[in-house]
Chain A
């Protein structure tokens, strides 16, 4: 009985979700209903108040979810931003404008802008630290805001700030809530939103794909804080009294609970979390102080039994973008891929001079020199710990070399950040695959196109024509073509984590190609592959080189792979380049054999060959 009821309910929900135009109907009816209800006093004042709390809490939960859920950073002092917005808006409405209902939305927006400015203080430390240290920064921010407000007599100091008119009404709350949902949803499903997700999934890989992590973090913090400030402004004009204690760590904890109750990384989750929490807290009012005992207990239980919240990463279909099926005039990826370089060149693509890197006292790479022309495949071999990956990390900008210089395509890249180096045309894969596991295969590739779009965050949030054109034609077509070129098309909507091992390796290469590189660094692409798979990979690498007109550097331990594929090979041992040359030269190089087999091995080798 209940089962059949549930299935029919689910079917009803599905039918609703499939009809996207209903969004407009629901929003429109909702807005009109709120106006009628509040004008004519159709509902109990208490119910109306709770409804407004729900709206404000939805905005708060969404705004925190952007940072904690989508970006995977860890802000625990969100009430600080709310305080900035609340005080900012209140000062404007009480002391500056002093009258006029129509000034209200302006005051609230200004409060949001002030909070967004304050966000810079938190965003800058987040460039370097994350996790628990960022938690400390945000909490300190919360405490500092509270402490500063307590010391400003102009806004009443610790006694609080009075005098706001009750300007927050049900229709206003509804309108701001809809705007917040719309704008944050649009932000998340855009180029910069994919950058945000890449930071959550794997910041290092994100930077390698050209994502300017600093810019993305700054944007996310600013947008998130703006809406927290808006919520603060609404809250202040609803309560008509604010004090520094209103926005202490308890308030921040409340917002955290809503986010983690509903679901991290889900807009529907934030809405559900805010609704459930607000209603529950009101329903439990009879418990008095014990209510505040149950609330944190709920949070702890959630973390233990359902750490990703009710919705988890799932999203209600209304909030997802529509996937277009139509094809546009094709610009072949392979042609655009390397369009920014001229094929005939006399300068070398990569020039490395005296590159040296120390880890503490250990010299991981010593005086490494390389001149690499365009178009070839170069192999880097050497025993474990010989400095191969260190070399790649230096080229792609993860380490700053102790000495030496790297010049790529006549640009000095020695001190650039990974995303800047990627933007100049160097892409890489990683020894231990670093895909964005919780993103779809297609989105993994889309992140690779971070620097290929020409719209900004405002275009994305307002869904301007520039956004639609760029996103629909350039990005989608390019991704589709890349996927079909490498036979990953049918996995497009699958989570990257669900791919089999070999396809993960392939997807990592495709994702790197999406950044339109001139130089591709492959770090042990055949690790863990059997001979058949290795053979297929060799063909793939060759195909990539020919079709995309790339230069490739590859680290590998499979000798058949290296010898069969590379025109040139460099051999590292204990951080020193001991040999360089063609595969045949390397095969017979005394030092190389010694490095791999030891000096007694060399004797055996000679004995076998009878030399």
Chain B
């Protein structure tokens, strides 16, 4: 019983991180129909900013979180401005390749600057509470609470504010929106800022839970989060949250049943099977063919 609850808690923690990263993919896809392959690397930048703020500047946790989120948001906006905006009218393939290129660029740039894995010091006191054999750490609680808070905030922004309305409108029709007096560039920049900011926050959470970070960490985690977004239905915000937790659960279960080296294999096979049977994800809407 305790073992099962322990695994459930692990699922929740891993799923929360995936969900927060997946939101970044899904938001950008929602407004631009672009897979931002560099998003996983923005997550990595968040983790490194967290490392700098903690290990070098010794800032308190709340400030660390703000530095990582805002810093990553700025990088995200810069990537959009410099690499994606010039290609907005170009064929989609060019944009996707650019996104891949930006990702590899960020990874290798970080690697050139900081070639070794880094150990992130403790940000909050790591306390464990024991309930009948179930160990709950303060870190796990913070990760889960923080991600629920972030997701609730995003859901509120997208559904209840003017900016959220503009984002939703943008995803329907990029040509009509400027005619309604909304600046498309501003809304896209905002979307990237929020998406990347979430990536940065997730980087901090990850560094808290798994404190060894390296420049290539964003590739695999980013891909997993992307799978989560696709599983939920890419472009759908609630789908990304759902997908994050599903993937967290699948991976935890796989780790229980099989050697851990099969984890990636299972995640990607799940994706392939899903794409064949339900190409639009769990909450996604199918597109109609226009002849």
Contact of B101 with A296 in the complex, beta carbons under 8 Å: yes
| CA–CA, A116 and B105, complex, Å | 31
A434 (CB) vs chain B CBs: closest residue:
B291
Complex interface: chain B residues within 8 A of A303 (CB):
87, 90, 94-95, 97-98, 101
CB within 8 Å of A: which B138-187 residues: none
- Shortest distance from the beta carbon of A229 to any chain B beta carbon, whole Å: 20
Q: Does A304 interact with chain B (Cβ within 8 Å)?
A: yes
Interface of chain A, main secondary structure: helix
Q: Which residue of B lies closest to A157 (CB)?
A: B261
- Tell me whether A133 and B219 are in contact (CB under 8 A): no
Check A136 against B94 for contact (C-beta < 8 Å).
Answer: no
Interface string of B90-105 (1 = CB under 8 A from A): 1111111110111111
Of the residues B92, B102, B219, contact of A296 by C-beta under 8 Å: B102
* Residue contact A135 to B96, C-beta cutoff 8 Å: yes
| Apart from the given pairs A76-B100, A136-B226, 12 other A-B contacts in the complex at a CB distance below 8 Å | A136-B271, A148-B265, A204-B291, A253-B104, A297-B101, A299-B97, A299-B98, A300-B98, A303-B95, A304-B98, A307-B91, A399-B289
Contact with B along A390-401 (1 / 0, CB 8 A): 000100001100
Q: A293-B109, A300-B105 are in contact. Are A393 and B98 (CB under 8 A)?
A: no
With beta carbons under 8 angstroms apart, the residue of B92, B97, B276 that contacts A131 is: B92
User: How many Å lie between the Cα of A196 and that of B173 in the bound state?
Assistant: 32
A467 within 8 A of B: no
Q: Is B35 an interface residue (CB 8 A)?
A: yes
**Closest CB-CB distance, B28 to chain A, in whole Å?**
12
Residues from chain B with Cβ under 8 Å of A137 in the complex: 272, 275
A292–B215 Cα distance when bound, in Å, is 13
Count of chain B residues with Cβ under 8 Å from any Cβ of A?
A: 44
Q: A144-B265, A151-B265, A304-B86 are in contact. Are A125 and B276 (CB under 8 A)?
A: yes
Residue A389 interfacial (CB < 8 Å): yes
- What's the Cα separation between A300 and B98 when bound, in Å? 5
With A136-B230, A293-B105 known as contacts, the answer to whether A304 contacts B83 (CB < 8 A) is yes
With a cutoff of 8 Å between Cβ atoms, the chain B residues found around residue A150 in the complex are: 261
- Whether the pair A140, B271 counts as a contact (CB closer than 8 A) is yes
Least CB distance, B237 to chain A, in whole angstroms:
18
Q: A76-B100, A137-B275, A398-B291 are in contact. Are A297 and B105 (CB under 8 A)?
A: yes
A143, A300, A430: which contacts B102 (Cβ < 8 A)? A300
Q: Which residues in A have their C-beta under 8 angstroms from that of B97?
A: 76, 256, 260, 299, 303
Specify which of A125, A260, A304, A359 is in contact with B275 (CB 8 Å cutoff): A125
Complex: A359 Cα to B289 Cα, angstroms: 11
Pair B288/A359 contact, Cβ less than 8 Å:
yes
Interface presence of A342 (CB below 8 A): no
Residues of chain A lying within 8 A (CB to CB) of residue B116 = none
| CA distance in complex: A399, B223 (Å) | 35
Residues of A with C-beta under 8 A to B223: 139, 143
Q: Of the candidates A72, A133, A147, A299, which one forms a contact with B101 in the assembled complex, judged by CB atoms under 8 Å apart?
A: A299
A538 at the interface (CB under 8 A from B): no
Q: Is the CB of A140 within 8 A of B272?
A: yes
Map CB proximity to B onto A33-65 as digits: 1 under 8 Å, 0 otherwise.
Answer: 000000000000000000000000000000000
Chain A neighbourhood of B272, CB < 8 A: 125, 137, 140-141, 144
Are A256 and B264 CB-contacts (below 8 A) given A136-B230, A293-B112?
no
Asked if A143 contacts B261 (CB within 8 A), the reply is: no
- The answer to whether residues A253 and B101 also contact, given A135-B96, A147-B264, A148-B265 and a CB cut-off of 8 A, is yes
- B269: interface (CB < 8 Å): yes
Shortest B163–chain A CB gap in Å is 26
Interface string of B241-271 (1 = CB under 8 A from A): 0000000000000000001011011001101
A430 touches B100 (CB 8 A): no
- From known contacts A125-B272, A292-B108, A300-B101, infer whether A132 and B96 are also in contact, taking CB-CB under 8 Å: yes
In the assembled complex, the CB of B284 is this many whole angstroms from the nearest CB of chain A, namely 11
B104 close to A296 (CB less than 8 A): yes
Q: Quick one: closest B residue to A208, CB to CB?
A: B291
**Is B2 part of the contact surface with A, judged by Cβ < 8 Å?**
no
B101 pairs with A143, CB closer than 8 A: no
Cβ-defined contact, A296 with B279, below 8 A: no
A253 in contact with B100 given A136-B230, A300-B83, A303-B87 (CB within 8 Å):
yes
**B111 at the A/B interface (Cβ < 8 Å)?**
yes
Provide the bound-state CA to CA distance between A224 and B86, in Å: 31
A147 touches B92 (CB 8 A): no
Interface CB pairs A-B, < 8 A, 17 = A129-B279, A132-B92, A132-B96, A133-B279, A144-B269, A147-B262, A147-B265, A158-B261, A253-B100, A288-B112, A295-B108, A296-B101, A296-B108, A297-B101, A300-B83, A303-B97, A304-B98
Q: Is A74 among interface residues, defined by CB-CB distance under 8 A?
A: yes
A290 within 8 A of B: yes
Residue A4, interface by CB 8 Å: no
Chain A 115-140 interface mask (CB, 8 Å, partner B; 1/0): 00000000011001101110111011
Interface residues in B88-138 by Cβ distance below 8 A to A read: 90-98, 100-105, 108-109, 111-112, 115
Q: Complex formed: what's the CA distance from A289 to B276 in Å? A: 39
Q: Given the complex of chains A and B, what is the CA–CA distance between A135 and B104 in angstroms?
A: 16
**B68 shortest CB reach to chain A, Å:** 23
CA distance A398 to B86 in the complex (A): 35
Query: For residue B276, which residues in chain A have a CB less than 8 angstroms away from its CB?
Result: 124-125, 128
Q: How far is the CA of A393 from the CA of B290 in the complex (A)?
A: 10
